[in-house]
Structure 1
């Protein structure tokens, strides 16, 4: 791809345009996209037009722009997340039938926890995570499990950088976090009260494929709720997912 005068490639610019969309910001004008992507208006309009022609973006009757269905279709083809979700969903549904709160599946992506599936009861408590949403690894039960089992180089990069606080109870001290990660690997699960919201407790376990931790399965409970039923349900589900992943090879 040709580079611009600033040195960024066309691929870089396309990615910047797509990254302006978030779970909360699903519709934008072309001008807003240009500003958020830090691109000249003419460049942004040209890229947006090309992406609309390709079906990767769509424009509504008010000329606002959103992500296109073709982008979703292409993302699912051959995606490791698709195979994981296929194996995980029946087991997540069993957990959800017992816990009746929030059941979530997350993977490690660019040193963040990326949530690829979530089931929620209509009367479940607070939960800020969304499908395709991200959280810092130190700021959720899923993220803590993923960080505990991450490649040591990834873990050291995260621990050596400033650790963001999502709530007053998020662990932001590297020494404390290092000890917590060791305990997670030893116990096989984590209980994280208040790490995202003071009214909630996250419980998470690792999900393995051929022995490697590839995801975290978690539930979000009301603060003070018993955690043992959730731990047992999650551990059983994780074993079932691992067996079903083997069958999908």
Structure 2
């Protein structure tokens, strides 16, 4: 297949390069050219050329085992995202304070489309294990931060999320769209969310919104604790205080 034919069959060069990068995830951190080709559904000859260019720029790195991994240059560029590293740097002192006070897991997330992205997580010394990781994506319907972000998302985003398949993680996961709409209304009224055993059966999270200088909800912070150890309503003021402090700092930095 010629390069021109390959471009026609698999899309523009940039789109193919992005498809290659998107094949890497937590389950596929290192891959051979043939594995990348199979995951991206792009011919090996084309993958060979594009991977070489990506590696030359620093988006990918080739290890001694011949497998490719995400390169440091890509992380450096991603760190410039204002909703990522910039927000994280402003929020981190408050997240650390919340973690030190409670010794529990603290998380910071933003919404991207119909998913959330975790941009920071601080693990408490004796905290409940969680499934999240920095840079990881998750459904908006189950976690504390997800419920906050969905509650303040545009109506069309809410409709899209609630009209599609809703992932179930445990027997306590709320998957009924009408029940979720009532929960989202409560989040907007109370100013915080509670996710009780919706992701794992041993965890409960309480989350609150972070506002931009213009008042828009741009992120959410949560505290994740062992289920049954404390009342979620007793945690809400702590989380809301941290969220308000981050919001004020963001407003001052704008």
Q: TM-score range by the shorter chain?
A: over 0.9
Q: How far did residue 168 of structure 1 move?
A: 2.1
Picking from 195, 200, 219, the partner of 2:198 is 195
Secondary structure in 2 matching 1:138: coil
Picking from 46, 51, 57, the partner of 2:49 is 46
Give yes or no for contact 1:170–1:195 (8 Å, CA) kept in 2: yes
Picking from 224, 229, 236, the partner of 1:225 is 229
Matched, 1:240 2:229: no
Query: What residue in structure 2 maps to residue 216 of structure 1?
Result: 220
Separation in 2, partners of 1:110, 1:241: 23
Separation in 1, partners of 2:138, 2:196: 16
Counterparts in 2 of 1:7 and 1:68: CA distance versus 1, 3 Å: closer
Picking from 18, 22, 44, the partner of 1:19 is 22
Matched, 1:151 2:163: no
Query: What residue in structure 1 maps to residue 73 of structure 2?
Result: 70
Counterparts in 2 of 1:229 and 1:87: CA distance versus 1, 3 Å: farther
Q: Deviations over 1:11-61 (max 9, x none)?
A: 221111111111342211121111111111111111111100111100111
Counterparts in 2 of 1:97 and 1:77: CA distance versus 1, 3 Å: same
Give yes or no for contact 2:10–2:16 (8 Å, CA) kept in 1: no
**Structure 1 gap ranges (5+):** none
Picking from 91, 95, 98, the partner of 2:94 is 91
Query: What residue in structure 1 maps to residue 110 of structure 2?
Result: 107
Count of residues in Structure 1 that have an aligned counterpart in Structure 2: 248
Give yes or no for contact 1:207–1:241 (8 Å, CA) kept in 2: yes
Separation in 2, partners of 1:230, 1:36: 43
Give yes or no for contact 1:23–1:132 (8 Å, CA) kept in 2: no
Picking from 167, 171, 185, the partner of 1:168 is 171
Secondary structure in 2 matching 1:156: helix
Matched, 1:127 2:109: no
Picking from 129, 142, 146, the partner of 2:145 is 142
What is the Cα-based RMSD across aligned positions, in Å? 1.5
Q: How far did residue 74 of structure 1 move?
A: 1.3
Separation in 1, partners of 2:105, 2:142: 17
Separation in 1, partners of 2:169, 2:35: 27
Q: How far did residue 99 of structure 1 move?
A: 1.7
Q: How far did residue 104 of structure 1 move?
A: 0.3
TM-score, reference length from structure 2 = 0.93
